[in-house]
């Protein structure tokens, strides 16, 4: 059955592959070989963030509270980016009629099976499509009254939230339908890192530095690494997006002046904050009190470390273009201000 699941998956019969995989694991729950065959086949194309994300209790609970506050029985909800179906089921549990779409076909098929297993198939329709390919009335009977979205990457924009919500607002929502969350922003601070930057320089006597051309700027910081990074300024909010406002929802570029506490600065730490309204926020700063965000943070290294005196201003410019977040910085010594 496990092999059959793998073959079905390869042929694009993803719902059948998920059903066969479920049956295979039920038939041989102890078998690691069965799990191996299924895992290698079905995980193909599934991004690795899904499991940490589903285990991120603070994230799940913040969405659950906001959904219970915003959704009322009979409401038509569009959720963009089903994943495992968690947010869609929370909306259905609150009484909504939900259309949810997922760009990755195996994830969509698995979400459909999860929704079915939890008894929500009559109220949650999982559509295996990117949101910009949805249409009314083929996929949704009528425009939605609320759009729920969690298509935020570590750098906020890197899962395409701006374009997806722009398109949904234009075609799939009633005028003025609220977004959940309604707001999100970038958070940042100057930072010093005790870890050597991971740059390719001379390796075994060869100049390999050109290989750095193939890397994206920014180090992903895993959780609980406070001992490796210090903030060298206050934290700041930039690029505040308001998804209830007309597209493009907020500024494309913004400069913030951060006051250095002095000494060497290696770069700019960046993370995200979501604002659900009614005082409910969720921040991915891995060094915050509650820590443990599945998003983590990014350290954008300067081309070379900056030496600063206390009070020097570092002007940090953040801009976003399509799905990319760009960071640049200039020092203004205190004496020249
Ligand atoms: C960060 S996960 C969130 C999953 C789920 N909503 C949750 O919160 O547990 C985002 C998911 O949305 C999908 N996705 C991203 N942009 C999408 C789009 N425009 N249309 C459909 N699916 C999208 C990705 O493939 C991914 O599975």
The string of pLDDT tens digits covering residues 271-287 is: 999 999 999 999 987 77
Q: Report, as an integer, the average pLDDT of 166-176.
A: 98
Q: Exposed, middle or buried, 198 (CB in 10 Å: 0-12/13-18/19+)?
A: exposed
Q: Given the CA of residue 81, which atom of ligand 1 is nearest to it?
A: 12
At residue 224, the pLDDT reads 54
- Atom 12 in ligand 1: residue holding the nearest Cα: 81
At residue 46, the pLDDT reads 94
Instruction: List CB contacts of 293: < 8 A, sequence separation 6 or more.
Output: 56, 58, 59, 223, 271, 283, 284, 285, 286
At residue 222, the pLDDT reads 58
Give the percent of the chain with pLDDT over 70. 94
At residue 229, the pLDDT reads 83
pLDDT digits (tens, 9 = 90+) for 50-81: 999 999 999 999 999 999 999 999 999 999 99
At residue 41, the pLDDT reads 94
At residue 326, the pLDDT reads 93
pLDDT digits (tens, 9 = 90+) for 6-15: 999 999 999 9
Q: Report, as an integer, the average pLDDT of 171-188.
A: 98
pLDDT score of 248 more than 80: yes
pLDDT digits (tens, 9 = 90+) for 289-331: 665 688 988 989 888 889 999 999 999 999 999 899 999 888 7
Total number of residues shown for the chain: 337
Give the percent of the chain with pLDDT over 90. 79
Q: At what angle do helices 2-10 and 14-27 cross, to 10 degrees?
A: 170
The verdict on pTM exceeding 0.85 is: yes
Tell me, in angstroms, the distance from the centre of ligand 1 to residue 2's CA. Answer: 27
Instruction: Write down all domains in the chain, each with its CATH number in brackets.
Output: 2-42 (no CATH), 50-180 (3.40.50.150), 184-336 (2.70.160.11)
Q: Is the CB of 294 under 6 A from ligand 1?
A: no
Tell me, in angstroms, the distance from the centre of ligand 1 to residue 253's CA. Answer: 25
Average pLDDT, the chain: 92
pLDDT score of 1 more than 90: yes
Q: Is the CB of 101 under 6 A from ligand 1?
A: yes
Q: Is the CB of 181 under 6 A from ligand 1?
A: no
pLDDT score of 335 more than 90: no
Q: Given the CA of residue 107, which atom of ligand 1 is nearest to it?
A: 27
At residue 197, the pLDDT reads 65
Q: Is the CB of 87 under 6 A from ligand 1?
A: yes
- The token pair at 96 is 């909504």
The 3 state secondary structure assigned to the chain is CHHHHHHHHHCCCHHHHHHHHHHHHHHCCCCHHHHHHHHHHHCCCCCCCHHHHHCCHHHHHHHHHHHHHHCCCCCEEEEECCCCCHHHHHHHHCCCEEEEECCCHHHHHHHHHHHHHCCCCCCEEEECCCHHHCCCCCCCCCCECEEEECCCECCECCCCHHHHHHHHHHHCECCCCCEECCEEEEEEEEEEECCCCCCCCEECCEECHHHHHHCCCCEEECCCCHHHEEECCCCEEEEEEECCCCCCCCCCEEEEEEECCCEEEEEEEEEEEEEEECCEEEECCCCCCCCCCCCCEEEEEEEEEEEECCCCEEEEEEEEECCEEEEEEEEECHHHC
Q: Is the CB of 272 under 6 A from ligand 1?
A: no
At residue 247, the pLDDT reads 94
At residue 10, the pLDDT reads 93
Q: Given the CA of residue 59, which atom of ligand 1 is nearest to it?
A: 8
Q: Is the CB of 167 under 6 A from ligand 1?
A: no
At residue 218, the pLDDT reads 77
**Which stretch of 20-29, 72-81, 98-107 has the lowest confidence by average pLDDT?**
20-29
At residue 209, the pLDDT reads 84
Q: State the pLDDT confidence band at 288, using cuts at 50, 70 and 90.
A: low
Q: Is the CB of 150 under 6 A from ligand 1?
A: yes
């Amino acid at each position: 059955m496990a092999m059959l699941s793998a073959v079905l998956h390869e042929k694009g019969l993803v719902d059948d592959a998920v059903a066969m995989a479920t049956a295979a694991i039920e038939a041989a729950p102890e078998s690691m070989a069965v799990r191996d065959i299924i895992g290698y086949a079905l995980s193909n194309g599934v991004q690795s963030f899904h499991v940490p994300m589903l285990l991120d209790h603070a994230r799940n609970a913040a969405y659950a509270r906001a959904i219970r506050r915003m959704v009322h029985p009979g409401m038509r909800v569009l959720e963009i980016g089903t994943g495992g179906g968690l947010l869609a089921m929370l909306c259905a549990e609150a009484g909504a009629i939900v259309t949810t779409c997922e760009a990755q076909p195996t994830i969509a098929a698995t979400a459909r099976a999860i929704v079915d297993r939890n008894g929500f198939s009559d109220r949650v329709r999982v559509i295996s499509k990117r949101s910009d390919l949805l249409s009314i009335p083929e996929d949704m009977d009528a425009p939605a009254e609320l759009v729920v979205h969690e298509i935020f990457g570590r750098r906020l924009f890197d899962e395409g939230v701006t374009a997806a919500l722009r398109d949904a607002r234009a075609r799939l929502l009633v005028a003025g339908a609220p977004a959940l969350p309604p707001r999100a922003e970038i958070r940042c601070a100057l930072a010093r890192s005790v870890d050597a930057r991971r740059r390719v320089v001379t390796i075994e006597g060869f100049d390999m530095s050109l290989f750095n051309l193939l890397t994206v700027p920014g180090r992903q910081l895993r959780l609980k690494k406070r001992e490796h990074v210090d903030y060298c300024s206050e934290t700041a909010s930039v690029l505040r997006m308001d998804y209830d406002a007309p597209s493009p929802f907020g500024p494309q570029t913004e400069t913030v002046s951060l006051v250095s506490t002095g000494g060497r600065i290696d770069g700019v730490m960046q993370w995200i904050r979501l604002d659900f309204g009614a005082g409910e926020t969720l921040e991915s700063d891995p060094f915050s009190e509650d820590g443990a965000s599945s998003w983590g943070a990014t350290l954008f290294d300067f081309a070379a470390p900056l030496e600063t005196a206390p009070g020097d201003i570092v002007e940090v410019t953040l801009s976003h273009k399509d799905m990319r977040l760009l960071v640049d910085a200039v020092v203004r010594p205190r004496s020249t201000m």
